[in-house]
Structure 1
Amino acid sequence: MNEAFSRPVAGQVPVLRLGDVLLVTLQGDLHDSMAHRLQQDISETIVRSGVTGVVIDISGVEMVDSFLGRVLAEIAAQSALLAARTVVAGMRPAVAITLVELGLTLPGLRTALTTEAALESLARPVAGPRSGGGLGESP
């Protein structure tokens, strides 16, 4: 099967590869088992394919609760450990308001208004690590 296309299985979120980026489109509720499977699928696909970015489109999600917020943050953290950047796209204003009201800051998670903007963001080079200033270093 070509990695650029995957057939969604009932109860599973499709993870599509578009060049160096994985595109994940969430629709409706994400239950515990689906969330765990999605995290595993994304991590395995990053390792297997060597992609450098993950776009999670949540435009089809009506409401984000603390569970989904935690899942998104965990996906971003796992992807970062595997050298891939994550961008969440398509957040509705009501979802953003809910996240703020819940006190969820989602560290390490970047956002974009659209999937296209997320893909453009991932296409830009990443600033390199800063040198110096570490503990125990001498000038």
Structure 2
Amino acid sequence: MDRIAILKLNGFLLVTIQVEMHDQLVLRLQDDLTQMLERTRASGVLIDISGLDIVDSFIGRSLAQIAAIARVMNAATVLVGMKPAVAITMVELGMSLAGVRTAVNVDKGMVLLHEAAGLEAR
């Protein structure tokens, strides 16, 4: 079964989604990320969705749920790489990503995670 890699870097977890997501893959990512948060005690999660051309309502809700789980586990979530068409679709569908900060790219997202963790950005 497909899996999305979750990397640990300097106290943060990095998730780069480079394939189109289907429901089972989203659920597996949610489970895997929750387990990694428990194991690593990471203070932040950066999710790069630059590889996604489409975000449907299920994927949007799942991203919001991942952020909520991370928040409960004391980790901030930053979503990066959102394409304009994806942003427009999410707004049109009435999706909100409560508790999720966004940034244009990974570098800016890492700055936000450092700020959320009370660390100086490198």
- Give the alignment's TM-score, normalised by structure 1: 0.80
Q: Which residues in structure 2 correspond to 1:1-139 (within 5 Å)? A: 11-125=2-116
Deviation at 1:27, TM superposition (A): 1.7
Deviates further, 55-64 or 33-42: 33-42
Structure with bigger helix share is 2
Q: 1:117 aligns to what SS in structure 2?
A: helix
Give the whole-Å Cα distance in 1 for the aligned partners of 2:116 and 2:4.
29
Deviation at 1:123, TM superposition (A): 0.5
Where in structure 1 are there 5+ consecutive unaligned residues? 1-9, 128-139
CA RMSD of superposed structures (Å): 1.4
Equivalent residues of 2:44, 2:117 under 8 A apart: no
Give the whole-Å Cα distance in 1 for the aligned partners of 2:79 and 2:116.
18
Equivalent residues of 1:28, 1:62 under 8 A apart: no
Q: 1:99 aligns to what SS in structure 2?
A: helix
Equivalent residues of 2:76, 2:116 under 8 A apart: no
- Alignment identity in percent? 45
Which amino acid is 1:26 matched to? I
Runs of at least 4 residues of structure 1 off by over 3 A?
Answer: none
Q: 1:106 aligns to what SS in structure 2?
A: coil
Give the whole-Å Cα distance in 1 for the aligned partners of 2:73 and 2:56.
26
Q: 1:124 aligns to what SS in structure 2?
A: helix
Bigger relative contact order (CA 8 A; separation at least 6):
2
CA deviation digits over 1:59-102, x for unaligned, max 9?
A: 11111111110110010000000000000000111111111100
**Cα distance 1:71–1:117, how it changes in 2: closer, same or farther (>3 A)?**
same
Tell me the matched-pair count.
Answer: 118
Q: 2:85 aligns to what SS in structure 1?
A: helix
